Structure 1
């Protein structure tokens, strides 16, 4: 598989959210706005790329019996970097995302790519795969957040599209996440079959 295919498969063909249905906890929990979706997606992308880089680099050194715990420790180190950086420089986003930032450690997208791809491929391929999957995850979270924010409050990235009085509160609340996600999954499936 060439590097471009590694990079692009995370957007539509193997999108972690819309196709593989991975990482549903942050997908449904933080996407009440586009900025939250983008912030969570980029944080996860950083962790995914860096974890893939390190796992691919030291894959031959890690004993098979402690492979998964080792991956979790590597991922946790990068999540700590993201958490402290976000807390220092983006406190409002950090507060908005809350508990979901530390939960990146056990996000099956990150751990799954470390196990299924980075531990079996070259450093360059692993970084490109992490970047493609991470940006695909970011795209999905941002799209879901933008759709929910638009339908719920008439805004996208806090830019007013229509008055908030015409928005439907349902879409900003938890049930709205399931409804919008269902329609987006149906749309992506339709695009993949075309």
Structure 2
């Protein structure tokens, strides 16, 4: 489990926190109205994941088992506060766009789950790798779902990139088509549920196709010997 390649596969695909574990649905459905919103929250979540995994791995031998969960929550809350202050200082537009969902990272089950299930049982390096790849898995789903909703709802991609990357990024906006009226369902939480359902179904189809392509290993035949009484 400590192999980086295995951790990468688990975080991005086999055990993706959004598509397989179905965790963090509240920010996933509420924030993913655009690529930039999804990317911004994904980066914030990944930073907290990596930081909490490092800290928990460092203190795991010094925290009594009875109070480990409250200690982990305090660590995560402190890191979320730091990320919130940094975002407020350097990406104020994104800070306003994400709103309450930045401090709600504290309650994200992905972070406390990885701290409890992995970081509290492993050394620093694998804990960093686990936090990074789990964060990347969450970020990738946020970006893909945000792209789908933005495209269907507004006909654009990377709209509002300047609130994350600066004023120069305004030119990154891509107008795919000009809708007469916005497709409101795609921009509302029910549209996010439907989009996430399609992504989970797509992953399931791809997994089945990959299993079918794998060569089947034939079980060795066991010859039965008939014993007769003489």
Aligned to 1:122: 123
CA distance in 1, matches of 2:154, 2:105: 28
Q: Highest relative contact order (Cα 8 Å, sep 6+), 1 or 2?
A: 1
Shift of 1:167: 4.6
Shift of 1:7: 2.3
User: Structure 1: which 5+ residue stretches go unaligned?
Assistant: none
Match runs of 1:7-156 below 5 Å: 7-156=8-157
User: Structure 2: which 5+ residue stretches go unaligned?
Assistant: 160-173, 210-230
2:176 is the alignment partner of 1:161: yes
Aligned to 1:185: 200
Q: What are the superposed Cα offsets for residues 150-184 of structure 1, whole Å, 9 maximum, x if unpaired?
A: 11111111221111326522101121111111111
Cα RMSD of the aligned pairs, angstroms, is: 1.0
Instruction: Answer yes or no: is the 8 Å Cα contact 1:56–1:120 preserved in 2.
Output: yes
* Equivalent pairs, count: 194
CA distance in 2, matches of 1:79, 1:90: 15
Shift of 1:4: 1.6
CA distance in 2, matches of 1:30, 1:4: 30
CA distance in 1, matches of 2:181, 2:137: 31
CA distance in 2, matches of 1:43, 1:26: 12
Shift of 1:12: 1.2
Q: What are the superposed Cα offsets for residues 28-86 of structure 1, whole Å, 9 maximum, x if unpaired?
A: 01001110011001100000000000000110000111100000000011100110000
TM (norm. structure 1) is: 0.97
1:9 match: secondary structure: helix
Q: Greater shift after overlay, 23-32 or 4-13?
A: 4-13
CA distance in 1, matches of 2:130, 2:8: 5
Instruction: Answer yes or no: is the 8 Å Cα contact 1:35–1:142 preserved in 2.
Output: yes
Q: Which runs of 4+ in 1 moved over 6 A?
A: none
TM (norm. structure 2) is: 0.82
CA distance in 2, matches of 1:66, 1:193: 42
Shift of 1:3: 1.6
